[in-house]
Amino acid sequence: MALTGLSAGAGANVNPNKSHEVVQPPTDSVSSLCFSPKGNYLVGTSWDNQVRCWEVSLAGSSMPKASMSHDQPVLCSAWKDDGTTVFSGGCDKQVKMWPLLSGGQPVTVAMHDAPVKEVAWIQQMNLLVTGSWDKTLRYWDTRQSNPVHTQQLPDRCYALTVQHPLMVVGTADRNLIVYNLQNPQTEFKRIMSPLKYQTRCIAAFPDQQGFLVGSIEGRVGVHHLDDAQQSKNFTFKCHREGNDIYSVNSLNFHPVHHTFATAGSDGAFNFWDKDSKQRLKAMSRCNQPIPCSSFNHDGSIFAYAVCYDWSKGAENHNPATAKTHIYMHMPSEQEVKGKPRAGTSGRK
């Protein structure tokens, strides 16, 4: 029997894809997930003010390794490229640097005038970049207390992606600002989103030639930066069920095959090939939204959170039934390896 909406009770299958559950999940909704670039350490941030780290395995086991606190809900996280350190930011308007593997204490390395929505480590510049609802991007040398550069944004930062030298920032009012990080103090290009509704997530192509953008209206845009490639741009609908339209909350490129995953508030995640314009695999819907997801460093594990996304406010939040889960799906090659469209002679 099909479930209408996501208000399903305890009888609904929480884990229809038979994924491996991460032990000791957060006590409130998960806002971000990110894997270490060096090993199978998964970090999750939550509205319960905590940043947690688990060591996970391909066999599906998970072990809590460490946790630390912010003063208010945490919204974003990123690892340093060497896999030793985690950065996290959120509603307390600061970013903490946590030397997790050495067992060190977290220290504040960045400050904003409003909540910090996005954080990324730029290895090639040895700098941290933070995006906030105070309408600025700030670049930080973590050894200094002041930002090395502050970049004004047209509006609040909602999403950010880095694939050096490409960085794309999505703000309120559907602005997409493209930066060439070899010259970060000037905008390379400003684009109005190809999607008609609010931007929720962005992911730079692994080859830095463009980016994906997902909106609250169940749609993804595939955008190339080169003016000569504009004919390759397209948008597609996803995370919809009949007349019900759900937000696309997460976009993740597979680190090996360069296909990508979408996850949405319909409780589903899907794998796609943008080059052949097809869905590779549709997974079953969970009974709550998926607010965030992440591939590990080699794409052998896809982690996703299943929990209330607060899209209907506090009045639709029932703590008794709204449990938070983090799952790990081990994708088969068939699910994530690109393939030419049927009837074509191969990929161009």
Tell me the pLDDT tens digit for each residue of 94-108.
Answer: 999 999 999 999 999
Residue with tokens 């390395």: 109
Read off the tokens for 149.
């550069």
The three-class DSSP label of residue 333 is: helix
Residue 142 per-residue DSSP state: T
Mean pLDDT lowest among 10-19, 62-71, 251-260, 322-331 = 10-19
User: What confidence tier does 6 reach under pLDDT thresholds 50, 70, 90?
Assistant: very low
Which residue from 153, 73, 148, 145 is spatially nearest to 116, judged by alpha carbons? 73
Comparing 334 with 339, the larger pLDDT belongs to 334
- For CA atoms 235, 241, 247, 253, the dihedral sign is negative
Cα(24)–Cα(46) distance, integer angstroms: 13
Could you tell me the two tokens for 341? 């469209």
**The two structure tokens encoding residue 233:** 């741009």
Record the tokens describing residue 213, joined without a space: 């953008």
pTM score? 0.94
3-state helix, strand, coil in the chain (%, to 5): 5, 45, 50
The answer to whether residue 316 scores a pLDDT higher than 90 is no
pLDDT of residue 345: 52
11, pLDDT greater than 60:
no
CA angle, 92 as apex, 90 and 94 as ends, to 5°?
Answer: 70
What is the Cα–Cα distance from 108 to 94, expressed in whole angstroms?
7
Q: 188 with 178: CB under 8 angstroms? A: yes
* Residue that has been written with the tokens 């929720």 in this structure: 200
Is the separation of the CB atoms in 129 and 137 below 8 Å?
A: yes
Range 276-281 average pLDDT: 96
CA 11 to CA 94: how far, in whole Å? Answer: 41
pLDDT value for 342: 73
Helix, strand or coil, per DSSP, at residue 323:
coil
So what's the pLDDT on residue 311? 83
- By the 8 A CB rule, do 217 and 228 touch? no
> Are the CB atoms for 131 and 157 separated by under 8 Å?
yes
Mean pLDDT of the chain: 94
Phi, psi of 251 (to 5 degrees): -130, 125
pLDDT interval class at 320 (50, 70, 90): confident
The contacts of residue 184 (CB under 8 Å, 6+ apart) are: 125, 139, 149, 151, 167
In angstroms, rounded to a whole number, what is the distance separating the alpha carbons of residues 77 and 227?
33
What percent of the chain stands above pLDDT 70? Answer: 95
- Candidates 187, 196, 191; CA nearest to 210 is 191
Joined together, the tokens standing for residue 201 give 């997530």
